[in-house]
């Protein structure tokens, strides 16, 4: 309350005081400080109660009690203090904001493979605009000795913060890869977002090690013009269909030399992705790469070789490399990952190429072999949290679609989405629709071709190649696999794969 304002009582008329019954008693002078009275004592100068009559109380005309005035003053004082501190802290915050130390600049080095810098630049620039202190240096690396450089440079402090690796590499790079923090993406969110094969490939112990930006695997690629020439207007769904179609599509000269092959399968030397194809057939027949001493494994190898064994061979070593042969329209069907479609169309834009899921063993569901690349974060990085945040940004629905659009500006199609919730966007795509259609049934084996790892994959591929070639020389299928098993067992022990 303002002291200059008139109290309400001062504006009211003061009533006449009642005439006292007795004349007022003259007040005694205040006691001196030397003789302060105790509460129980009565001054001898004060008339006793029996001699004094107290006038009756008049509550209406009495002045306001002193404690109310004091209370208002206390409230005013308290309010003033609060206002003062509010103004003080407001001014202090402005000062601190004006002199606030800028965020420390964080530089993230990103080693990529296959994709040019122009593909990632729009997304990197967008992220840097939203995070002023983050600078991202994307570098496209050569695949030659990439894994070795990645490990060596990471250990000596010259490696990247973010890097791309193959889905089968986790046992080979476990010493440098860091786990995905729960604070960035929980296990539940990861498992709801990505296909089951990605969950299986990237999990070690209780953690996931990487975020994928794509998925891929073997599909059936066929020349529809060659199909129509022999009256085939359907897609092979089983291996029986494959055998039937291959017989109709194969053309030989009078000496038995292949002119047009029905399907490229059965050899190792001139068959691109032969190890992936053989691995797929092993799994489809119920065999296990960790135990090749079984009838199922021998039967799978026999079925693989039958396509190239005379006199009913549909393919043999006289043919050029299978991708080259398909480009030249010398073979009607091949198995390959979807990225090989880009190679084929770049070399022969007019080829009438179609794509379908891989065939199944009659009576079973189709199973294909996955082969894709993943983004990881180095455990030697000093900015792991910021690196993971950037990768989660890239792997979001919105930015994966932007990445796909960027890739499609430079080629026929982008990398197939690894997210389940983006599956429908590609289901009708004529080239990579089959990739996502069979994504739920992918398996992974460490025998993927063209990973250039000089490790698990390349070593196992060499053992499988020796097995195929030995059967060409007359060694039995089961005997060839016994030797292969011994080599694979050593590799699994070296990398502690159970």
For residue 8, pLDDT beyond 80: no
- Cα separation, 76 vs 70, in Å, equals 10
pLDDT confidence band for 363 (50 / 70 / 90): confident
pLDDT at res. 487: 96
**How confident is the model over 94-106, as pLDDT tens digits?**
665 655 556 689 9
Average pLDDT, the chain: 87
pLDDT at res. 367: 96
pLDDT at res. 79: 66
pLDDT at res. 313: 96
For residue 305, pLDDT beyond 60: yes
For residue 23, pLDDT beyond 70: no
For residue 35, pLDDT beyond 50: no
Q: What is the 3-state secondary structure (H, E, C) of the chain?
A: CCCCCCCHHHHCCCCCCCCCCCCCCCCCCCCCHHHCCCCCCCCCCCCCHHHCCCCCCCCCCCCCCHHHHHHHHHHHHHHHHHHHHHHHHHHHHHHHHHCCCCCCCEEEEEEECCCCHHHHHHHHHHHHHHCCCEEEEEEECCCCCHHHHHHHHHHCCCCCCEEEEECCCHHHHCCCECCCCCCCCCHHHHHHHECHHHHHHHEECCEECCEECCCCEEEEEEEHHHHHHCCCCCCCCEHHHHHHHHHHHCEECCCCCEEEECCCCCCCCCCCCHHHHHHHHHHHCCCECCECCCHHHHHHHHHHHHCCCCCCCCCCCCCCCHHHHHHCCCECEEEEECHHHHHHHHHCCCCCEEEECCCECCCCCCCEEECCEEEEEECCCCCHHHHHHHHHHHCCHHHHHHHHHHHHHHCCCCCCCCEHHHHHHCCCCCCCHHHHHCHHHEECCCCCCCCCCCCHHHHHHHHHHHHHHHHHCCCCHHHHHHHHHHHHHHHHHHCCCC
**How confident is the model over 449-492, as pLDDT tens digits?**
999 999 999 999 999 999 999 999 999 999 999 999 999 999 99
pLDDT at res. 86: 73
Mean pLDDT of 287-316: 96
| Residue 301 · residue 268 · CB < 8 Å | no
Q: Any idea what the Cα angle at residue 25 is, between residues 19 and 27, rounded to 5°?
A: 125
- Cα separation, 362 vs 284, in Å, equals 10
Identify the structural domains of the chain with CATH numbers, from first to last: 106-215+372-437 (3.40.190.10), 218-369+455-494 (3.40.190.10)
For residue 380, pLDDT beyond 80: yes
For residue 142, pLDDT beyond 90: yes
pLDDT at res. 72: 57
pLDDT at res. 99: 55
pLDDT at res. 81: 75
Percentage above 90 pLDDT, the chain: 77
Between 82 and 260, the more confident residue is 260
Mean pLDDT of 63-86: 58
pLDDT confidence band for 90 (50 / 70 / 90): confident
Mean pLDDT of 129-149: 97
For residue 439, pLDDT beyond 60: yes
pLDDT at res. 498: 79
pLDDT at res. 26: 44
pLDDT at res. 91: 74
For residue 44, pLDDT beyond 50: no
The answer for residues whose C-beta is within 8 angstroms of residue 47's C-beta and 6 or more apart is 25
pLDDT confidence band for 247 (50 / 70 / 90): very high
**How confident is the model over 162-190, as pLDDT tens digits?**
999 999 999 999 999 999 999 999 999 99
For residue 389, pLDDT beyond 80: yes
The pTM assigned to this predicted structure is: 0.79
Mean pLDDT of 411-420: 97
Mean pLDDT of 345-369: 95
pLDDT confidence band for 76 (50 / 70 / 90): low
For residue 294, pLDDT beyond 90: yes
Percentage above 70 pLDDT, the chain: 81
For residue 36, pLDDT beyond 50: no
**How confident is the model over 208-229, as pLDDT tens digits?**
999 999 999 999 999 999 999 9
pLDDT at res. 1: 43
Mean pLDDT of 70-86: 64
């Amino acid at each position: 309350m303002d002291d200059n304002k008139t109290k309400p009582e001062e504006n009211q008329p003061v009533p006449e005081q009642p005439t006292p019954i007795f004349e007022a008693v003259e007040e005694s002078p205040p006691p001196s400080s030397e003789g302060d009275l105790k509460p129980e004592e009565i001054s001898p100068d004060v008339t006793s109660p029996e001699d004094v009559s107290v006038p009756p109380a008049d509550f209406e005309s009495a002045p306001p009690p002193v404690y109310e005035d004091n209370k208002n003053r206390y409230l005013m004082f308290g309010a003033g203090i609060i206002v003062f501190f509010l103004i003080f802290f407001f001014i202090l915050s402005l000062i601190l904001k004006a002199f606030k130390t800028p965020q420390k600049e964080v530089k993230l080095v990103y080693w990529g493979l296959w994709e040019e810098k122009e593909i990632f630049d729009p997304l990197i620039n967008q992220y840097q605009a939203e995070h002023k202190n983050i600078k991202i240096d994307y570098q496209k690396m050569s695949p030659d000795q990439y894994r070795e450089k990645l490990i060596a440079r990471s250990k000596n402090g010259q490696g990247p913060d973010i890097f791309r690796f193959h889905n089968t590499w986790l046992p080979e790079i476990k010493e440098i890869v860091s786990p995905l923090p729960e604070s960035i993406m929980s296990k539940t969110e990861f498992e709801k977002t990505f296909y089951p094969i990605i969950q299986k490939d990237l999990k070690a112990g209780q953690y996931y090690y990487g975020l994928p930006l794509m998925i891929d695997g073997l599909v059936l690629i066929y020349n529809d013009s060659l199909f129509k020439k022999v009256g085939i207007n359907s897609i092979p769904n089983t291996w029986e269909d494959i055998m039937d179609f291959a017989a109709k599509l194969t053309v030989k000269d009078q000496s038995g030399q292949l002119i047009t092959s029905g399907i490229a399968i059965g050899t190792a030397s001139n068959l691109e992705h032969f190890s992936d194809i053989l691995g797929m057939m092993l799994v489809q027949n119920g065999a296990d790469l960790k135990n090749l001493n079984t009838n199922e494994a021998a039967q799978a190898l026999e079925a693989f070789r039958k396509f190239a064994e005379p006199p009913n061979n549909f393919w043999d070593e006289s043919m050029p490399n299978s991708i080259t042969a398909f480009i030249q329209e010398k073979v009607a069907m091949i198995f390959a990952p979807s990225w090989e479609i880009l190679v084929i169309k770049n070399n022969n834009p007019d080829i009438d190429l179609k794509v379908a899921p891989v065939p199944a063993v009659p009576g079973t569901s189709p199973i294909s072999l996955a082969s894709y690349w993943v983004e990881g974060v180095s455990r030697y990085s000093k900015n792991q949290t910021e690196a993971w945040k950037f990768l989660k940004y890239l792997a979001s629905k919105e930015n994966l679609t932007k990445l796909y659009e960027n890739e499609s500006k430079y080629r026929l199609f982008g990398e197939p989405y690894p997210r389940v919730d983006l599956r429908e966007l590609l289901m009708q795509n004529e080239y990579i629709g089959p990739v996502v259609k069979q994504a739920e049934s992918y398996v992974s084996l460490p025998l993927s071709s063209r990973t250039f790892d000089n490790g698990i994959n390349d070593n196992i591929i060499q053992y499988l190649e020796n097995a195929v070639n030995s059967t060409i020389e007359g060694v039995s299928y089961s005997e060839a696999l016994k030797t292969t098993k011994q080599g694979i067992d050593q590799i699994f022990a070296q990398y502690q794969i159970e």
